[in-house]
Amino acid sequence: MVQGVTQKHYLRDILLLIFYFSLFLFLARAVPFVIGAIVIAFYFSVLLEVPREIIAKRTKTKLPVILAHFLTIILLAYVAVSVFPNIVWKIVDTFKIVQSTPVRMLPNWISSIIDEIKNNVSAFAMKLLGKVINLLPEIVTMITLLIATLIGLESIKAYVRPRIRKLFLDDPEKAEKFVFLFIQDVKRFVRGMILVSAISATITTVGLTLLNIPSALSLGVVTFLGGFFPIVGLIVSSIPMYIFALSQKGPTGILWVTLLLVAVNQLESWIYGPKIQSSNLRIHWFILVVALGIFASLLDFVGILIAFPSVIFLRNFWNEYVIPTQQNGTQK
């Protein structure tokens, strides 16, 4: 009899968890910038916890912890206001130089091909700029919500934490443990991602400095932040590297940057990346790649952000609810 009641409780909570997860995916599709801002804020909150925990271990007062929190926010704001605009303007200046540089000592047919490539690049840049302008209200909303979430993060946690049990009907204690376990697993994954990104960004910055590529430190910061967005982050962060390398060293610079990126990617994929993340996720890499492709194709940008946490949720959901329900049914 007890087993039957327990199984009934599991079934009710299973339906509720499926509903909440489906609602989250629906909102990710309907309001991607809002969900994206919340997810990025969660990722950054884990990033903010690192310096806070280091200071908290060395002092019993809360003031240094609060200062570390706000100093990290200021650093992120500085990156958004200074680093990214600096890179954008350098890219624009590089395009202008390339556009205005005449092609000499080449046959006419090669010169015409190069001029056509220049015009196509300019048209693509203007088209991309137009899309960014059209999305500007959503981007502003996303940034505003991101900042507000980061500032009020502790208040949000304090409000949500005691109310989690109210979201479930028959077994709120088990559901609460499930939610907290899921959050801890995602935090563990994000911390591993932070460490992997920091190592890759450091190697990239040193390599770009040795190659005399402009804005090596800024590009390293972009590489670090790009680590939060699998595959897409690598592509986006590599574009300004290639542009600066082309303007500084020509085709030779592109070759050296390519070798640098390949070396960093191989080191991350085969040496320090698996060692750091294997114990965090305990999920086969092929499943992660497939999940990333599916979520990115269905939900675009926000799908990249929620792909791995969703896989973690589904794994925990299967282990904590589906398997015990099947075992209870077999025993009965």
Tell me which residues of the chain have a pLDDT lower than 50: 1-5, 106
pLDDT value at residue 60: 67
Return the pLDDT at 65: 61
Cα separation, 211 vs 263, in Å, equals 14
pLDDT given at position 313: 95
Look at residue 317 in the predicted model and tell me its pLDDT: 94
pLDDT of residue 149: 75
Q: Are 22 and 298 in contact (CB under 8 A)?
A: no
- All residues at 6 or more sequence positions from 67 whose CB lies less than 8 Å from its CB, including other chains: none
pLDDT of residue 3: 45
Q: Which of 307, 316, 10 is nearest to 183 (CA)?
A: 316
Taking a C-beta distance cutoff of 8 angstroms, is the pair 86, 222 a contact? no
H or E segment at 5?
helix 2-30
pLDDT, position 201: 94
pLDDT at residue number 279: 62
Distance CA 122, CA 110 (A): 19
Task: State the pLDDT at residue 5.
Answer: 42
pTM for the whole structure: 0.74
